[in-house]
Each structure stands twice: as C-alpha cells, then as structure tokens.
Structure 1
C-alpha cells in the first residue's frame, strides 16, 4: 500500500500511517497485528481520542449557530416568512390578520419596522399580558424575547424584523410556566331565551302580530309578512309558501307595477333596557317602498327640505337615532334601510348586493319620494353609495355629506393593494360562519375589524342584537367585495357642495382617503370631529350634528 495515501495527516514522529481513514480495513488490521498487542491497545486509545476531538468540533460548531428552540418560521409558518439570511442576520416578514394569534415563539435581538399597524395583545413567558396600538412606519430596536402575539385590532398587522445572530442577541433560557386560566365563558342572555320560549308557547292567531316582524333569534331577518299601520295587510314576499297566505291577504295584494310603490308599514323594535341611545323611537310609523325589485323600509319626520340618511355596512335606519330628532326640527328627515337590511326581507342567500345595485335603489327611492333635489348624508358603505349617486345624477342631490367612504382608489398603490387584500381576507373569514345557523362569530369578527365603536364584548346586548339582525345583509355584501372604481378624476366631476367629515381618531388609510377626496372635489369643505373615531356621528353626536346642520343651512 503506498504511503502517500496518508501523507497529509502523518505526524512528524510517526512512521506508521494507521490513522488514515482512507486505508483499507484489512491493511490496517495487518499493520496492527504485525506490531503486537501493545500497539493495538495504544491505537484503540488514540482512536477514542480522535472521536472525542471530532465530537468537540461538532459541538463547538453547533454552539456558534443561533439556537432557535421556538423558531418563529418553524413554529408559525403561517404568519412568518424568511426573506433573507446570512451568517450575521436574518430578515423575517410577519403578517397577522385581525382575530388571528401567533403561538409562542422567540426572537433574538432585532430591529423591527412596521409596514401596516394595528392593535396587538402580547403575552410574555412570565405571564404578563399587555395591549398596544402600533402604527405604520414605527421602527425600533428590541431585545431578545419570547412571547405570544394576537391581533385584536381591525386591520392587518405586518412588520419586517431583522434579527442578529451573535451570542449576545439570543433570547434568555426558557422557563416554562403554566398558562393562565382561560376567562369564564360569557353568560347567555336570559331575556332572549325567555322571549323565544314564550313565542313557541304562544298559540297561533288568525292575523300576524306586530312582534312577528322582528326576529326572535340573533341573526335572523324579520319575516316577510308585516302588518300595516292602518289595518291593511302587507303582501307576502315571493319566498313565503303559498299555503301560509291568508285569503284576505291575497285579495289585498296590489297588482305588480313597474313604478315604485310606497305604502305604510309599522315596525316595533324589540325592548331596549338601559339603552344609552334611541330614547325617542319606542314605536314609529314606518313606510315601505318597492323599487328596483326590492323592498326598502323607511321612516320620516319633520317638514322642509328633504334630508336622506344612508347607513353603513352593518346598520339600518336606526343608525341615525341621534341625528333624526335634531334634524327633524328644521328639515324633512328620511332614514331608510338599504336592501336586505332590517326590517327588509332577506333569505340570507342573495347575490345581488353590489354598489351598483344600491346606487340604483337610492336613485329610484328618491324618485318615489318626489322631493326634488335632496341633501344626502352617508356613512361608510352608504357614503360611497351617496357619492356615486352625486356623480351620476347630480340633478337629484342638493348637497352631500360623507364620512368614511372607503374609496381604495384614492390611496397610493401600496396602501390600496393592502386595503384590498385586507377586505378580501376579512370577507373570506366571515363568509362561512355567516352562512350557518348561528352567524354570531362572523358578525363579531367584522364588528371588531371595523373598529368604529367599542369592541364587541363591551357593547350592550341590545346593540349586539341589532347588529345580528343585519347578518344576512352582511353575508350578501361578502359575495362581491369589489370596491367602486372611484378615483380623483371621478371626484372632480362632482360639482355638488360636499362636506367631508372625519373623526379625530381615524386610521391612516381613512386620513389619506379623506384628504385626497376633499382635495379632488371641486366644491368641498372639510371638518374634523374631536374625540371621535370613524363613527363620529355616534362618538360625538352633538359636534357632528352642529357641523352638518351648519353646512346644510348654507345650501
């Protein structure tokens, strides 16, 4: 066997090359046997030392690498993504949708840059829990830590994190503690159970009662049959079985007409104990208009020029409870419920709920009112509908008041993309629970995502019940989540006097949309309501009412 095969590792004082790992095993055994037992024992001892040296090198090499027993990329691959890595640093992208939670993971010392802010609930390994609102653009250096993160805000949270791999940047030794006990489950509403049980035991009557127009379980839409205020009976919708139609109802049903039909309708909302708002609406005389192949319930008060209120995504005519009494002192006030919103009939399976359909509904509804040009006041989804109507039918609008219209096309390209992605994501999350028998989870998640008022757990049961009454309309809204293609060029075409209202505590996207819209409109004013969030008409109703009434008085 040539000696050159092991010359690279031969020691200077050794003539044998028995340590060469490339030598054939038979040749090594022959060399050891020719040298005797002492050399064999000595060779085995040195072999053990070599193995220990190799093991030491492996341990040292492993110690030089960062230890990530709870590597976020491995523990939570759904929310963490590795963007870049080398020997010194690694860059992670973290994205957490509203309502989602990232399990416990650890970070080395790092620098974090927030791409899209939200409100987070963070729990450390020592059991400390705290919440904070983190805004877009925030950057800071953070020490090594282990924690659990939950997005309790209304927007998608996204950040870029640069972690350092030196030993001083690694998190401290993990100390496992028992998790805190979960909070007790919320108590069920006993009045609702008693009301449902009472209705089941109630014998059937010949004529439908007034209470039959209100749903008895959260999320259910009112029945299509509603009694009239003057003793006449409202025609039964097409979805109701023919066997349930009373003879006198069929006789009183008006023949189908292409023109809009307005008839009286009486709606008594459910009882409202300890209600901080709506004190003047114990029972109101309602009317109903049939326009654009749908039925729209509305109420009106006062005399003078007509002011029409258009509610948002989860509201109905009751949204404007704090505005109607004040505005009715000077104007004829009309508040209507858009298609499929309470108390309009809905099966929960409609697929024609779009911005275009709502704009056509409003145009036909104004024609049915026969009031000439009107003042339009809208919020959220309703503000977008009112603005689109002012663009396409300027002859119908005397003045326009909008807040939170949600026109994504007025944002810059990156924010518009993130806003569109967030809307699609939240609709995908709530669509399935809204389609089930108990849609409370979908309504709760969407309510918290909007973050217009208090979180779902803090609002009173009556307001939760009212939101649940519009669950079918919310489900229909998720069918086509496409925002209207309304940009600055379209806004410049509107010559109608417009007041753009915004709350002081609005989101960054809302601030940009509000500012851009006010700048693009040809005849606009802008007002900020102090101590108010997105729902300024509710958070600071007095200042909102004064500002809007002052604007309407000029026009």
Structure 2
C-alpha cells in the first residue's frame, strides 16, 4: 500500500484488527524486516509497518535535509492523521528507535506505549557528534562511489552485526538481499540527514517522556545495553529487558522471544485500560 505524505510517496503494509502498533525499521531495513513479528501481533492488534524515507519502496528524496528527524516525524504524524488513527503503540529498532523516541517526545498525545529496541537518545558531546558525522559522511561516500554491493560487504561485517553470523544461512541471505535492494541515494541521505551524529540529543528530554516505555537490548550488544540502561534511569515510567543470546537485531536473532515479550507488554498495556 502507498500513501502520499508531504510530497513523498510512502510504502507500508498493515494486518490485523484492534489497537494499532506502528513498526519502524532500522538503517538498511524495510517493512519486510518485521514479517515474523507481524504474524504474531496481528492476532491481537492492528499492525502497520512503514518503509522510512530512502528505504524499501518509499521514495528517496535527493535533498538530505528532508530526512532529518523533524520532517520525518511530521510525516508519521500526518500518516496517522490520514489513516484516522488517534493513538498508537510505537516500536522502533536502531535508527527507527531513534525516530520513534523523537516522535514520542514531539507528539506525546499520540502514544499509547513506546518500545525501543537497540537504540540511543543521541550523542552528547560535540566531539562525539563531529566524529560520528564524519563517519556517516564517509559511509555515504562509500555507497555513492563504490556502489551498494561494496557497502553491503562492509556493513554486514562490522562488529555490531557479528552475532548474526550464527544465524541460519537462508536468514543471512534474506538480510543481505534486503540490503542490496536499497536505494543508494536513499541510504546515503539517511546517513547524512538522520544519522546519530546529526540528530538532536534527546537525553535532557527523557525525563519528560510520559508514556510507558519498554527498552530491549541483546546481551551480546554491550554498548547499547549500557546506553539503554542509562536511558532507563532517566525515563520515569520505563523498564529494560536484556535478551540472552542476541546482539543488536534482536527481532531477527531471537525472533520468537522478542515477539513474545512485545506481545505480552502490549496486551498488559491494553488490559490496564489505556484511554
């Protein structure tokens, strides 16, 4: 399915009935990334997975500023408005988690609950931000100058995804195919417009987050477990779960466990009678 949002043709899929949960994938991912989770959640919920800017079948604007958090979040708000959806449970992974957090803080009245998988609230020091922006621009140049295949060969071998090497070969191949099918300009501009270095730091705003929040990290992903532990300390109404035998992409590496945790969290929120 497709929908026009502020001049951009977005692609999404939806399944099931009930309260809506909106799924936001990570960098180099797409709505298809959530297939296993959708199959579980659609039994009790109305599930929507959307291809973010520059990913999947959504358009890839040429202007990198279009990918920044503020316009990207506004697109999501307008999506819910056009779909006549008052409130959502919002789940985001990695890059999608950063966008989900930004959206939840900008539009708190739209959030029934928030689930963040392997993400950060941003970088605090100027030095870290400048270094990360340079790294993202270097990656952007790799994509545009060397091609998507060279980038994917590099990306799938970074330490962040080392735990995925133990996944069944067919799953690894599906992940690679998904990455290879991405738009070079879309990925490049996502790095420049929505990268961790350029996004606003949200650390000082976490205390104002009112929604019940679930933070999920994988035990092998020590860096992000540490980051999310600090986020958990600042968010008033949150809890954190560390998933055994999982790295960064928990919904892929431990899909059944992840689906069970998410489903139980959402059902509990609904049973508590969120208005």
Checking the alignment, whether the CA contact within 8 Å between 1:298 and 1:335 is kept in structure 2 is yes
User: Which has more radius of gyration?
Assistant: 1
2:215 corresponds to which residue?
Answer: 500
Query: Secondary structure of the residue that 1:476 maps to in structure 2?
Result: helix
Measured on the aligned residues, the alpha-carbon RMSD in Å equals 2.3
Looking at structure 1, the residues matched to 127 and 156 of structure 2 have their Cα atoms a distance apart, in angstroms, of 22
Checking the alignment, whether the CA contact within 8 Å between 2:102 and 2:202 is kept in structure 1 is no
Structure having the higher helix fraction is 2
1:64-79 map, 5 Å: none
**Structure 2: which 5+ residue stretches go unaligned?**
270-275
Note closer, same or farther for the CA distance 1:483–1:515 as it changes in structure 2 (3 Å cut).
farther
Deviations 1:109-159 (A, max 9, x none): xxxxxxxxxxxxxxxxxxxxxxxxxxxxxxxxxxxxxxxxxxxxxxxxxxx
Query: Secondary structure of the residue that 1:435 maps to in structure 2?
Result: helix
Residue 332 of structure 1 pairs with residue 41 of structure 2? no
1:432 corresponds to which residue?
Answer: 141
1:73-152 map, 5 Å: none
Looking at structure 2, the residues matched to 496 and 296 of structure 1 have their Cα atoms a distance apart, in angstroms, of 27
Looking at structure 2, the residues matched to 339 and 544 of structure 1 have their Cα atoms a distance apart, in angstroms, of 25
1:312 corresponds to which residue?
Answer: 26
Checking the alignment, whether the CA contact within 8 Å between 2:15 and 2:48 is kept in structure 1 is yes
Query: Secondary structure of the residue that 2:67 maps to in structure 1?
Result: coil
Looking at structure 2, the residues matched to 444 and 379 of structure 1 have their Cα atoms a distance apart, in angstroms, of 22
2:156 corresponds to which residue?
Answer: 447
1:19 corresponds to which residue?
Answer: none
1:464 corresponds to which residue?
Answer: 176
Superposition deviation, residue 450 in structure 1: 6.4
Checking the alignment, whether the CA contact within 8 Å between 1:295 and 1:339 is kept in structure 2 is no
Checking the alignment, whether the CA contact within 8 Å between 2:10 and 2:59 is kept in structure 1 is no
Query: Secondary structure of the residue that 1:500 maps to in structure 2?
Result: strand
1:142 corresponds to which residue?
Answer: none
Residue 478 of structure 1 pairs with residue 229 of structure 2? no
Superposition deviation, residue 429 in structure 1: 3.0
2:80 corresponds to which residue?
Answer: 366
Number of aligned positions between the proteins: 261
1:290 corresponds to which residue?
Answer: 4
Checking the alignment, whether the CA contact within 8 Å between 1:376 and 1:400 is kept in structure 2 is yes
Looking at structure 1, the residues matched to 135 and 156 of structure 2 have their Cα atoms a distance apart, in angstroms, of 11
Checking the alignment, whether the CA contact within 8 Å between 2:120 and 2:227 is kept in structure 1 is yes
Deviations 1:516-541 (A, max 9, x none): 11111111111111111111111111
Checking the alignment, whether the CA contact within 8 Å between 2:24 and 2:97 is kept in structure 1 is yes
User: Which structure would you say has the larger RCO, counting Cα contacts within 8 Å and 6 or more residues apart?
Assistant: 2
Note closer, same or farther for the CA distance 1:495–1:329 as it changes in structure 2 (3 Å cut).
same
Deviations 1:386-442 (A, max 9, x none): 1111111111110000012232346xx5xx845x35533432332223224732112
1:490 corresponds to which residue?
Answer: 205
* TM-score, reference length from structure 1: 0.44
Note closer, same or farther for the CA distance 1:421–1:445 as it changes in structure 2 (3 Å cut).
farther
Note closer, same or farther for the CA distance 1:302–1:551 as it changes in structure 2 (3 Å cut).
same
Checking the alignment, whether the CA contact within 8 Å between 2:118 and 2:218 is kept in structure 1 is no
Deviations 1:241-273 (A, max 9, x none): xxxxxxxxxxxxxxxxxxxxxxxxxxxxxxxxx
Note closer, same or farther for the CA distance 1:461–1:505 as it changes in structure 2 (3 Å cut).
closer
Query: Secondary structure of the residue that 2:215 maps to in structure 1?
Result: strand
Superposition deviation, residue 511 in structure 1: 2.4
**Structure 1: which 5+ residue stretches go unaligned?**
1-286
Checking the alignment, whether the CA contact within 8 Å between 2:133 and 2:198 is kept in structure 1 is no
* TM-score, reference length from structure 2: 0.86
1:537 corresponds to which residue?
Answer: 251
Query: Secondary structure of the residue that 2:156 maps to in structure 1?
Result: helix
Deviations 1:61-109 (A, max 9, x none): xxxxxxxxxxxxxxxxxxxxxxxxxxxxxxxxxxxxxxxxxxxxxxxxx
Looking at structure 1, the residues matched to 202 and 133 of structure 2 have their Cα atoms a distance apart, in angstroms, of 20
